[in-house]
Chains A and B, each alone.
Chain A
Amino acid sequence: MSELIGRELTLRVNGIDHPVEVAHGRNLLSVLRTEIGLTGTKEGCDDCECGACMVLLDGEPVNSCSYLAAQAVGREITTVEGVMRGDELHPLQRNLLDEGGVQCGFCTPGMIMSATALLARTPDPTDEDIRIGLSGNLCRCTGYARIVAAVRRTAQEHGVS
């Protein structure tokens, strides 16, 4: 067994190891934003309801606001900053813009992470699959239809692996 509090830990985010010291009870969202400086992941409700804080942990979606940072040691964390391909937008990002699936943009990083996990598991999703895949993400601007369309178009173009 290893103790994780009161010593330097390594969190692997988007393929890069970051040394951090994590206080007891500190959530992953706050460590990502304020210690590691990756502010793409958003704090919305801070209550596991809205999905703005969604990140991938070993490829699966997790509400980072309610996940202890220390428990992410040894796991591969992916944030929205990690889906870019160099300076190129990820197809999901481009399609969200092209389809009008981004208005205020606050939910967008979380939507992208949930959609990435969905398409990795289900490369050819039905609209119902897409809606279930995004069901942990709230958007108060778009009415969802254009976000669903962007995910559908991404899948149709080539899928995400």
Chain B
Amino acid sequence: MSLLIATTVDDALAAMAAGARPIAGGSDLVVGARHGKAPLPDSLVAIDRIAELRALDVDTSGAVRIGAGVSHHLIESHPVLVERFSALADAAALVGSPSTRHVGTIGGNVMNASPAMDTGAPLVVLGASVELRAVTGSRTMPIGELWIGPGRTAASPDELCVAVHLPAPASRCGSAYVRLEYRRAMEIAVVGAAASVTLAADGTVTSVHAALTAVAPTIIAVAGLEHLAGATVAEAAVAVGDAARQQATPISDVRASDRYRRHTIAVMAQRAVDAAARRAAGERVPVPVNRALGIGAATGGPS
């Protein structure tokens, strides 16, 4: 039984090479262990005090490096992310509750690989890549290649997720993440959709990307949207909704039936495209879109 506190990434990697599992806030690991999902590993290395992992940097080109230990709270309140990577801020603002958002990190969310994770679909439409590092070296891969099944990633056990990289968005580009929820806090997406839309000067669509939450074994990108270049926003929204419905392979579980998910994913995808296009056109749609547009649970009391 061991719990080491690492203060550098190299310390953490050395511990992981010797078999330790990383823990940041522990909100997935500790709760999962109590549920019998997986026992708490005998050997843990705490990575929540590593300065490199807590850093969020914007470079001169506008690209962003988000350290794996950056909290959802920082993401939902960071001006650059709110303004230019809005879908990710939308998602971070919907995670759990204030305490979950302070303890939970983007690295933990990404590596937990839940098909219902809120930050996943935004990262896909924003063109994110993930940086993995081990004692033996590091590699970077498109975020969509990281997830290979529910709770399963392409990372080997000795690899630590150290950062998520976001390229600078084009001008006249906007993004949004919308989820269906039954209550406003401590909720998991019934289904969710992220969209990124770039507009031409005449208001038609230059490009649109979409990705879906909780309708497949992993977060999935919506394929075959290239032909929407030149479409109006309204046409693109309908087409993305149709594609989402067709490409979804949802299951039935305690939160929703497969039929309900297949229907509602089209609605969420349309709304995500619409909100993303409004942001691309310069409209200020506050984060999170769910609250700003009254999407999801009606406004009212908590719970």
Contact = CB atoms under 8 A, between A and B. Distances in A.
A46 B302 contact: no
Contact of B97 (A24, A27, A51, A68): A51
A37 interface: no
Contacts of A66: 26-27, 30-31, 34
A135 B46 contact: no
A42 to B, nearest CB: 15
A67 B30 contact: yes
Interface in A18-35: 23-25, 27
Contact of B302 (A61, A68, A144): A144
A7 to B, nearest CB: 11
Contacts of B5: 1-2, 4, 71, 73
B2, B5, B7, B40: most-surrounded residue (chain A CB, <10 A): B5
Interface stretch (B51-59, B99-107, B168-176, B275-283): B99-107
B62 interface: no
B151 interface: no
Given A114-B98, A132-B98, A138-B303, A3 B30 contact: no
Contacts of A137: 97, 302
Given A2-B4, A136-B98, A25 B25 contact: no
B154 interface: no
A119 interface: no
B102 A61 contact: yes
B30 A68 contact: yes
Contacts of A114: 98-99
A70 B3 contact: yes
A153 to B, nearest CB: 18
Q: How large is the interface on B (under 10, 10 to 19, 20 to 34, 35 or more residues)?
A: 35 or more
Contacts of A27: 30
A47 B34 contact: yes
A70 B186 CA distance: 25
Contacts of B7: 1
A22 B103 CA distance: 21
B96 interface: yes
A39 to B, nearest CB: 20
Interface residues of A, number: 41
B80 interface: no
B11 interface: yes
A5 interface: yes
A81 to B, nearest CB: 19
A48 interface: yes
Nearest to B183: A135
Contacts of A71: 3, 5, 23, 26, 46, 48
Interface in B180-201: 184-186
B31 A3 contact: no
Contact of A51 (B48, B73, B99, B301): B99
Contacts of B42: 24
Given A61-B99, A67-B25, A49 B3 contact: no
A134 interface: yes
A144 to B, nearest CB: 5
B124 interface: no
Nearest to B291: A128
Contact of B99 (A47, A136, A145): A136
A4 B4 contact: yes
Given A4-B5, A5-B3, A131-B302, A48 B31 contact: yes
Given A68-B23, A135-B98, A5 B1 contact: yes
22 contacts: A5-B1, A23-B1, A24-B2, A46-B34, A48-B27, A48-B186, A49-B186, A60-B73, A67-B26, A67-B30, A70-B3, A71-B5, A71-B23, A71-B26, A114-B99, A133-B98, A135-B97, A135-B98, A135-B185, A135-B303, A137-B302, A144-B301
